[in-house]
Chains A and B, each alone.
Chain A
Amino acid sequence: MLWQSCCARNLNAVGKRQYRDIEDMNVNKPVEPTVLPVEEEMDQFAAFEKSGFTGTVGKVASDDPCMSAKNVDVFYGEKHAIIDVSVDLGRNEVLSMIGPSGCGKSTFLRCLNRMNDTIDICRVDGDIQLDDEDIYNKQMDVVLLRACVGMVFQKPNPFPKSIYENVAYGPRIHGLAASKTDMDEIVETSLRKAGLWGEVKDRLDTPGTGLSGGQQQRLCIARAIAVSPEVILMDEPCSALDPIATAKIEELIDELRENYTIAIVTHSMQQAARVSQRTAYFHLGYLVEVGETDDIFTNPQHKLTEDYITGRFG
């Protein structure tokens, strides 16, 4: 498994220090959980009460899981943000997570590479496995984990460095390139996979921050895939992009699926319908329904899912 090869990597002290530099550059800045206006939360609660929720409906298991979450609970201090969620991420599959604001979809996504560790008041219970290994194991090196489970954020966040350095940074701190030639190859391959090579090959030494929003987001994707992850997590990756840039990212997601497992949080149901094979609907921290995307958007089994996707909420 790729994950085992990832674990075999040896991050040196310099690499670890540089990784902390990345955190300083706000790449991994802790994101506070969404706090809903009281009225909105009341509406969601009323809909939930009325629905008579008794547990997740649909097929939570995958035939070939890459990641597997079982009975996951997340607490922010006293607040129970994720409640007993179990779901598999199938290998080479795109799982989209949808739901109203504050439903816990981003919180759950961030559990999958322990990004919630950066929030002091956050506690995660339950079992999340990557290739049958518990990622919350005390011996787990989260830096390596996050290389294997990469993340792309809502707002493109390239480092204030050149395009080349943006992509080369990860492989360098992980010691993935033995020579300049190796590094050049990793950079080119990553940029090609991210569909950006043709647009930037003649200006690799210019700042990444000088690219357009869509190009910056693809640069971030190239940066994530440069360290050969097994899973890519995307938290509303297109919400700051125009329709053309969004279409390019969606096309890219479809291509990346051949080599990676992808989980995407999105507020656009059309986007979830377009890019994913499976869809999970969250509501007030519960995983209400999960199933084939085609089924979820044409014939959902749970009333809450149906009311949400048809715009009958509240």
Chain B
Amino acid sequence: MNEQSNQHTVRAYNVELDQLRHLIRSITKLVRLQIHDAAASLKNEDVEMAREVIRRDMEVNKLDLQADEEIIRVIARRQPMARDLREIMTAGKIVSDLERIGDQARRVARLTLQFYDGDRSPPNQHMLSDIYSMSRYVDEMIEKAIDSFDNRDLDSAGEVIEMGLDLVDQFRSAIRRLSTFIMEDSRSVGYAVDIVLALRALERVGGHSKNIARYMVYMIKGKDVRHETTERLLQEMHTD
């Protein structure tokens, strides 16, 4: 398709769509902060910061509801069609994924409370290193996924899909490293189980970012490739 005209004849419609996009950016900003602070609370053994992450998840949930209300209002008032309809449907799905990313951040923050809020002796910090690196990595995935939405950019979406493949490798390597800790000291099994759950939460964050990237193909090209193989998905992203 050729270059699109961006403005609707009804200006209020543009304003409503801009508000929805702005809301998505706000939720994104908040969940990225959640991921960052959850990992930082673990690193700094900061129980208060972890509690703040758990409390802020309520804000994410509120924004999730607010976005749904906006979407319903736009559909009811404007009866969107074609690219607008696809964008609004995609926005609804993105918001759901962002909300779930928020839930995963809360899981990581809970780990801080488990390890550092009480008399229990803390784990070896080396066991936690993969959580920090994976949290940075998934944060980058979220950023790229939302950039692809903002800029209607399939190249960024493709990068997110490829990063997702790399994230799976990182997750497996992290599990292997944890195994070595267990082999060295069987008393660390309890910690390792909790850390695996946190790693799994971060791996799911990557999964939600990949979902957002997949929606871009539908939003931009009108083709639903959510359940296609990664190869087919990347092929679709790289063809006009």
Contacts and interface: CB of A to CB of B under 8 A. Distances in A.
Interface in B1-38: 1-10, 13
Nearest to A312: B5
A269 interface: yes
Given A298-B86, A312-B9, A269 B2 contact: no
A300 B222 CA distance: 9
Contacts of A301: 1
Nearest to B81: A309
Interface in A291-314: 297-303, 305-307, 309-314
A143 B39 CA distance: 81
Contacts, number: 57
B82 A310 contact: yes
B8 A310 contact: yes
B84 to A, nearest CB: 5
B223 to A, nearest CB: 8
Contacts of B223: 299
B175 interface: no
B209 to A, nearest CB: 25
Contact of A313 (B2, B9, B13, B78): B9
A51 interface: yes
Which size class do A's interface residues fall under?
20 to 34
Contacts of A300: 82
Contact of A310 (B3, B80, B221, B222): B80
A312 B7 contact: yes
A298 B82 contact: yes
A19 B81 CA distance: 43
A311 B9 contact: yes
A306 B4 contact: yes
B5 to A, nearest CB: 5
A306 B13 contact: no
A299 B219 CA distance: 9
A303 B2 contact: yes
B79 interface: yes
A302 B1 CA distance: 6
A51 B5 CA distance: 10
Which size class do B's interface residues fall under?
20 to 34
A198 interface: no
Nearest to B89: A298
A312 B81 contact: no
Contacts of A312: 4-9
A309 B82 contact: yes
B85 interface: yes
B150 to A, nearest CB: 19
Contacts of B8: 310-312
A314 B80 CA distance: 18
Interface in A239-283: 269-270, 273
A52 interface: yes
B13 A311 contact: yes
Contact of B83 (A52, A273, A306, A313): A306
B1 A298 contact: no
Interface of A: 47, 50-52, 269-270, 273, 297-303, 305-307, 309-314
Given A47-B5, A312-B5, 17 more contacts: A50-B2, A269-B79, A297-B82, A298-B82, A298-B222, A299-B222, A301-B1, A302-B1, A303-B4, A305-B82, A307-B5, A310-B8, A310-B80, A310-B81, A311-B8, A311-B9, A311-B10
25 contacts: A47-B5, A269-B81, A273-B81, A297-B85, A298-B81, A298-B86, A299-B86, A299-B221, A299-B223, A303-B2, A303-B3, A303-B4, A305-B82, A306-B1, A306-B83, A307-B5, A309-B82, A310-B82, A310-B83, A310-B84, A311-B9, A311-B78, A312-B5, A312-B8, A314-B9
- Sort A-B residue pairs by CB-CB distance and give the 6 closest, nearest first: A299-B222, A309-B81, A312-B5, A303-B2, A311-B8, A310-B84
